[in-house]
Amino acid sequence: MRVKLDPRTKLFMIFVVSVIVMMTATTPILWIIRIIMTFIPIILLITEKKYASALRFCILYIAALLLTFFFLSEESTGIFKALLTGYCAIIAQFLPAIITAWYVVRTTRIDEFMSAMQKMHMPDGITISLAVVMRFFPTIKEEYSHIKDAMRMRGIMLGGGNAAKMIEFRMIPLLFSCVNIGDELSAAAITRGLGGKVKRTSVVTLKLGAADYLLILVFILATAAFIVFKYII
Amino acid sequence: MKSDIIELKNISFKYKGSDNGLLNNVSLNIKRGETVLLCGASGSGKTTIIRLINGLIPHYYPGDLTGEVCVSGKIIKDTELYELAGTVGTVFQNPRSQFFSVDTDGEIVFGPENIGLDPAEIKKRGEDVVREMKLENLLGKSIFDLSGGEKQKIACASVSALLPEIILLDEPSSNLDWNAIEELRQSIIRWKDQGKTIVISEHRLWYLKDLTDRVLYMERGIIKYEWSGLEFSGFDSKKTYDLKLRPTEMEDSIIEKYRNRSNGIIDIKDDDAIVLKDFYFTYNHKPYFFIKKRVSEKDSDILSLNIPKLNLPRGSVIGIVGRNGTGKSTFLRCVCGLEKDCTGVIEADGNVYKGKQRLKLSYMVMQDVNHQLFTDSVESEVLLSMEDQDKEKCEGILKSLGIIEFKNKHPMALSGGQKQRVAIASAIAAKAKLLLFDEPTSGLDFLHMEKVAELLKELAASGKTVLVSTHDSELIDKCCDHVLCIENGKVGYFV
């Protein structure tokens, strides 16, 4: 079953999860709240049929948790355990935010996003800039992989051991092609009326559904509980 | 009421920072409902005219402009670009960089949304366009998953949805295969029937010859000749050759020759060939968690490339044809070893090349050459590919390609065709035995295409085996000894 969420709910999720990961969990009850909040986006990924990434995140997160609780302790010594502690702490701490962001980026269409921003009365300038950023990520990825291919073909992957050359070889073509694409892209967009004084409209009709209200409620309650248990009790 | 919808009066223009004028005192009137074709060599000013009409000059590309452009009663100089959006629509050359949305539905309605139409009206327009252009099966897709032809169709739809009176097309067929060009032709015919004014700048002429009312031949910033559509479609190959234009006739016959070919594979002895073995590859991997399983012959239902054995005659130019998205690029990528998961083995001159070694055997000139130019001068670009940095040899290569004068220029400062020749120069310098070209002539004019053809022949004569993936039938006719057709990842025919 696919749960169709409103982009506003998704933005709210990102915001809440980002706040939560910035606060450390110290007691078991805080950990439980945090784990629940991590598994919500994982379940959402499953409903989107992204099984492989859901399972990968799940395994990574559980492994980090198990190691933190049962293998590592304050008495842990040695370089290996030190590194492991670092990795596990980072994963346990920040993976929830990464999973949520991943879910949102993978499942939000640009027109939905722009429509949501308009409903929240964001200025068009901010909406369009953010939309362009969203549009550009996959392009950069695509361009970068072409450049990597070209470098492998010429056998200059390591730039002759020269770090500056290595960066130069990667960045120069990437910058040039991104600038070119950006240039052509904006030319194409303004010939179709982007940036006019007219208020943009949108065919996407957004409505908060039951799932949206439920999730927002769950996240508000979880955040409230987290803050209460951490700072008040 | 005036019947001229587009008026250019004594236009001269040069881009900011450039010394030579691109247009010199050009005047042009286009009537409502007319279809006009602009032809001529690269850099003759075709694109500049398109940009003058859609207002990108002077609003987006600044420069020294004299004269007056008037489109549909609006003086371009005094009109903001977004006000022109409902009047002039433009289909650009590169389908990759004209999409704002990442999905097809959003892209079609992008224009109407911008000009603030009522959502119900936008929906209706979107549905109309989809029905007219038969795009139902493309809806809801990511534009990154579309083939070049499909992208160009969506671009046409997106322009259509704004219901402009004037439609401009800037070399729209550059990246399209024969079938996609036919579909583009249908779009143009539809627009023509709707009474739209159409201006097309194009090198490939055969698909337009019976569509145009008027043909303008441009040379060095002026309109040198003007013919009626009828006169133009009667041009024989000698006449077009003298004008350095691509033929209006030939392409049709070549397409017919190769399109309806029955299966057949030429027999070449292993000794005279570069032998490809076990080339299996897929993009549609079964779900995996941490380790990708390599595919083999048994997975034939999911294979994107399925070539058990293929002998490529050494020292010949082999054209690779096939529809967009049917495996041509995949084939090239696998042959030169860019797809790590491809299991193929290449046997050449008694050596066996596997995995990464394939990268040394072959060199691919990519379609977008910007990706493979890394250094700050043409010379060092070529030297980078040489094992022993031999400056004399480098000059020889540059001379043979006619780019010696740019030796010290930055590769990115060159024109598209010149950049491509730089990439070819480094391919020669790399001493690869197998040279692969991905659409080397897309968007090239007749002269440059002919030069590329000559060059490919010379490369083959010097003992290299050249694989060239192309939709350009004139290129095939000019230089290919053999034609290999890839269909759904398999060898369709090889003659």
Over residues B273-278, the mean pLDDT reads 86
The two tokens of residue B270 are 């292993």
Residues in chain B: 495
CB contact under 8 A, A55 and B289: yes
CA B433 and chain centroid, separation = 26
Contact B97, A185 (CB under 8 A): yes
Listed in sequence order, the residues at least 6 apart from B159 whose beta carbon sits closer than 8 Å to its beta carbon are: A192, B89, B90, B91, B111, B167
Contacts of B111 in chain A (CB under 8 A): 192-193
Please give the pLDDT value at position B292.
Answer: 63
Angle at B191 between CA B96 and CA B74, to 5 degrees: 85
Top mean-pLDDT range of A78-82, B42-46, B160-164, B262-266:
B160-164
> B26-79: per-residue pLDDT in tens?
999 999 999 999 998 887 888 899 999 999 988 888 888 999 999 998 999 898
- Whether residues A68 and A157 fall in one domain: no
> B441-471: per-residue pLDDT in tens?
887 888 888 888 988 898 899 888 999 998 8
> B305-360: per-residue pLDDT in tens?
888 888 889 889 999 988 877 788 888 888 888 888 888 888 888 888 887 888 88
Over residues A217-231, the mean pLDDT reads 91
* Half-sphere exposure in the Cβ direction for B74 (13 Å, CA): 21
- Whether residues A103 and A146 fall in one domain: no
Of A9-18, B167-176, B442-451, where does mean pLDDT reach its minimum? B442-451
Residues of B162-174 as b/e, b for ≥16 C-beta within 10 angstroms?
Answer: bbbbbbbbbbbbb
Residue A153 lies in a domain: yes
Over residues B414-437, the mean pLDDT reads 82
The two tokens of residue B459 are 């490369």
A2 at interface of B, judged by CB pairs closer than 8 A: no
Residue A113 lies in a domain: no
Q: Which residue of B has its CA nearest to A142?
A: B144
β-bridge pairing B465-469 and B317-321: parallel
Please give the pLDDT value at position B387.
Answer: 76
**B81: closest CA of chain A, how far (Å):** 6
Residue A21 lies in a domain: yes
Contacts of B81 in chain A (CB under 8 A): 190-191, 195
**B287: closest CA of chain A, how far (Å):** 7
B463 at interface of A, judged by CB pairs closer than 8 A: no
Higher per-residue confidence, B292 vs A166 = A166
Distance CA B160, CA B149 (A): 17
Contacts of B374 in chain A (CB under 8 A): 150-151, 154, 156, 168-169, 172-173
Contacts of B56 in chain A (CB under 8 A): 187, 190-191
- Whether residues A87 and A45 fall in one domain: yes
Nearest C-alpha neighbor of B409 from the set B401, B400, B418, B399: B418
Q: Which CATH number fits domain B256-494: 3.40.50.300, 3.30.10.20, 3.40.50.720, 3.20.20.80?
A: 3.40.50.300
Contact A97, A61 (CB under 8 A): no
Above 60 in pLDDT, residue B252? yes
Higher per-residue confidence, B157 vs A198 = B157
> A38-89: per-residue pLDDT in tens?
999 999 999 888 888 899 999 999 999 888 888 777 776 788 888 888 888 8
Q: Which residue of B has its CA nearest to A53?
A: B289
Which A residues 152-211 touch B at CB under 8 Å?
152-156, 168-169, 172-173, 176-177, 180-181, 184-203, 205
Please give the pLDDT value at position B405.
Answer: 87
CB contact under 8 A, B92 and A190: no
- Work out how many domains chain A is built from and give that number: 2
Over residues A103-114, the mean pLDDT reads 85
Mean pLDDT of chain B: 85
Distance CA B226, CA B214 (A): 7
Contacts of B102 in chain A (CB under 8 A): 109-110, 134-135, 138
**A145: closest CA of chain B, how far (Å):** 9
- Whether residues A41 and A65 fall in one domain: yes
Please give the pLDDT value at position A220.
Answer: 93
Top mean-pLDDT range of A153-162, B106-115, B174-183, B407-416:
B106-115
Which A residues 68-97 touch B at CB under 8 Å?
none
Please give the pLDDT value at position B174.
Answer: 82
Q: Hey, what amino acid is at B439?
A: E
Cross-strand partners of B279: B307
Above 60 in pLDDT, residue B1? no
Residue A1 lies in a domain: no
Residue ranges matching CATH 3.40.50.300 in chain B = 4-248, 256-494
B127 at interface of A, judged by CB pairs closer than 8 A: no
Above 90 in pLDDT, residue B191? yes
- Name the DSSP class of A208: -
- Name the DSSP class of A58: H
- What's the burial of B295, exposed, middle or buried (CB within 10 Å: 0-12/13-18/19+)? buried
Which B residues 135-154 touch A at CB under 8 Å?
144
Listed in sequence order, the residues at least 6 apart from A149 whose beta carbon sits closer than 8 Å to its beta carbon are: B333, B338, B366, B371
**B336: closest CA of chain A, how far (Å):** 8
- Whether residues A102 and A137 fall in one domain: no
Please give the pLDDT value at position B215.
Answer: 94
**A95: closest CA of chain B, how far (Å):** 18
CB contact under 8 A, B370 and A180: yes
Over residues B406-428, the mean pLDDT reads 82
CB contact under 8 A, B364 and A154: no
**A87: closest CA of chain B, how far (Å):** 19
Higher per-residue confidence, B219 vs B387 = B219
Contacts of B159 in chain A (CB under 8 A): 192
- Whether residues A94 and A17 fall in one domain: yes
Distance CA B280, CA B310 (A): 12
**B139: closest CA of chain A, how far (Å):** 13
Alpha-carbon dihedral A52, A58, A63, A64, rounded to 10 degrees: 120
Residue A202 lies in a domain: no
Above 70 in pLDDT, residue A151? yes
CB contact under 8 A, A191 and B289: no
- Whether residues A52 and A125 fall in one domain: no
Domain that holds residue A216: 7-108+207-232
Residue A2 lies in a domain: no
Residue A219 lies in a domain: yes
The domain defined by B4-248 folds into: Rossmann fold (3.40.50)
Q: Hey, what amino acid is at A7?
A: P
Q: End-to-end alpha-carbon separation of chain B, Å? A: 59
Distance CA A63, CA A133 (A): 33
Distance CA A188, CA B170 (A): 12
Above 80 in pLDDT, residue B298? no
- What's the burial of B345, exposed, middle or buried (CB within 10 Å: 0-12/13-18/19+)? middle
CB contact under 8 A, B373 and A155: no
